[in-house]
């Protein structure tokens, strides 16, 4: 009998990461592509996703009939039951029925969930949060997402809209966020938030190694890593500001949930997580109830770039049960 496989996708604001898992939960093939082609329509982003799936099948030599399911994430608000992307701030999808589109294309069951929900699910099932009952996750990438495990279950709230605490408002008169509000955690602490701050400082005549890296949008994490290693003042300020607001938001979530563990993940933590964690830990106690803080662990994700695709795997395994 031929082996069966599951294709898992991490669709972000700047890239699509694909992986094929075998029955032992081992990744046997992976591929990464930019998530935006020329133009910015939902169909163009979907074309990239389709091309990632097709290329992985072709290059791995795995027959389409051996694929049990395709599982994906996207940033934003997703009706997980219907497979519809209701809203995503960093991709051009509104009320987009990607499940139907992908199942029509491939004839394979398709599942989708919020990216950070799945990232936290992945870390809870297979990573640093394994064995805990209550988990708060912050994932810092192009945007800033949240995910919650409450009493041993992924918590998605009414109509799958919970845990959008990247849009917790920390300063009502702060910088404009892509969601339309001002002063969200995302507007301060995401790559977009840090990039905006760096552009603002450069426009005031300050010099920075990051000037070119933020010209066309958000920086790549390795550019930030290089600038921090060189102690670039503007980059260091952007990171200090991001960590300050992340510490405030973390304190708020600790006081609200009293979790066993807070997990930080995403591309920026993958690149410079030790430094960021150190900065957050230096501040977070100021924003927590003293009686709650000692019972909460705060750690970086352990699956790195793969947190979300392992979460996508867990989503399929739960669905196929």
Are 146 and 293 part of one and the same domain?
yes
19 falls within a domain: yes
Are 144 and 21 part of one and the same domain?
no
Rounded (to 5) percent helix, strand, coil in the chain = 45, 25, 30
156 falls within a domain: yes
Distance CA 137, CA 149 (A): 9
42 falls within a domain: yes
| pLDDT score at 90 | 67
Strand order in the sheet with 67-74: 27-34, 15-21, 5-11, 67-74, 110-114
Are 267 and 159 part of one and the same domain?
yes
Could you give the maximum distance between any two Cα atoms of the chain, in Å? 66
For residue 267, the number of C-alpha atoms closer than 13 Å in the C-beta half-sphere is 23
Are 172 and 263 part of one and the same domain?
yes
Identify the DSSP state of 128.
T
Domain count, the chain: 2
| pLDDT score at 114 | 92
Give the mean pLDDT of 16-27. 95
Are 245 and 146 part of one and the same domain?
yes
Report residue 142's pLDDT band, with 50, 70 and 90 as the boundaries.
Answer: confident
Q: Could you please report the per-residue DSSP string of 265-284?
A: ESHHHHHHHHHHHHHHHHHG
Are 186 and 268 part of one and the same domain?
yes
Name the least confident of 250-254, 290-294, 304-308: 304-308
pLDDT per position as a tens digit, 102-127: 999 999 999 999 999 999 999 999 99
126 falls within a domain: no
For residue 128, the number of C-alpha atoms closer than 13 Å in the C-beta half-sphere is 21
Are 242 and 175 part of one and the same domain?
yes
Which tokens belong to 119?
């990232």
Report residue 38's pLDDT band, with 50, 70 and 90 as the boundaries.
Answer: low
Are 137 and 272 part of one and the same domain?
yes
| pLDDT score at 280 | 98
- Containing 45, the helix (H) or strand (E) segment is helix 42-60
The structure's pTM equals 0.91
Are 143 and 21 part of one and the same domain?
no
| pLDDT score at 174 | 96
| pLDDT score at 305 | 85
Are 112 and 137 part of one and the same domain?
no
220 falls within a domain: yes
Are 107 and 161 part of one and the same domain?
no
| pLDDT score at 37 | 55
Distance CA 46, CA 49 (A): 5
Are 27 and 110 part of one and the same domain?
yes
CB 137 within 8 A of CB 123: yes
* Mean of per-residue pLDDT scores for the chain: 93
% of the chain exceeding 70 in pLDDT: 97
CATH number (domain holding residue 105): 3.30.420.40
Q: Print the domain residue range for 93.
A: 5-118+306-320
């Amino acid at each position: 009998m031929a082996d069966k496989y599951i294709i898992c996708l991490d669709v972000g604001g700047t890239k699509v990461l694909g992986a094929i898992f075998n029955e032992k939960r081992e990744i046997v093939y992976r591929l990464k592509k930019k998530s935006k082609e020329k133009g910015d329509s939902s169909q163009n982003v979907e074309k990239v996703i389709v091309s990632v799936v097709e290329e992985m099948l072709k290059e791995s030599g795995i027959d389409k009939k051996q694929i049990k399911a395709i599982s994906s994430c996207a940033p934003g608000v997703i009706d997980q039951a219907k497979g519809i992307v209701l809203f995503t701030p960093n991709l051009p999808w509104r009320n987009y029925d990607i499940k139907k589109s992908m199942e029509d294309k491939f004839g394979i069951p398709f599942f989708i969930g919020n990216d950070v929900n799945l990232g936290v699910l992945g870390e809870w099932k297979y990573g640093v949060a394994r064995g805990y009952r209550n988990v708060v996750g912050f994932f810092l990438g192009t945007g800033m997402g949240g995910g919650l495990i409450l009493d041993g279950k992924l918590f998605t709230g009414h109509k799958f809209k919970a845990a959008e605490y990247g849009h917790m408002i920390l300063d009502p008169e702060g910088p404009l966020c892509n969601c339309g509000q001002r002063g969200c955690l995302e507007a301060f602490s995401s790559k977009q938030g840090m990039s905006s701050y760096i552009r603002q400082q450069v426009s005031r005549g300050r010099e920075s190694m990051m000037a070119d890296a933020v010209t066309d949008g958000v920086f790549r994490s390795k550019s930030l890593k290089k600038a921090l290693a060189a102690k670039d003042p503007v980059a260091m300020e952007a990171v200090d500001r991001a960590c300050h607001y992340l510490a405030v938001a973390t304190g708020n979530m600790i006081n609200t949930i009293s979790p066993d563990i807070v997990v930080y993940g995403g591309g920026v933590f993958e690149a410079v997580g030790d430094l960021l964690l150190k900065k957050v830990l230096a501040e977070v106690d100021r924003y927590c109830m003293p009686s709650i803080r000692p019972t909460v662990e705060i750690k970086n994700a352990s699956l790195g770039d793969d947190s979300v695709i392992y979460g996508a795997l867990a989503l399929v395994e739960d669905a196929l049960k």
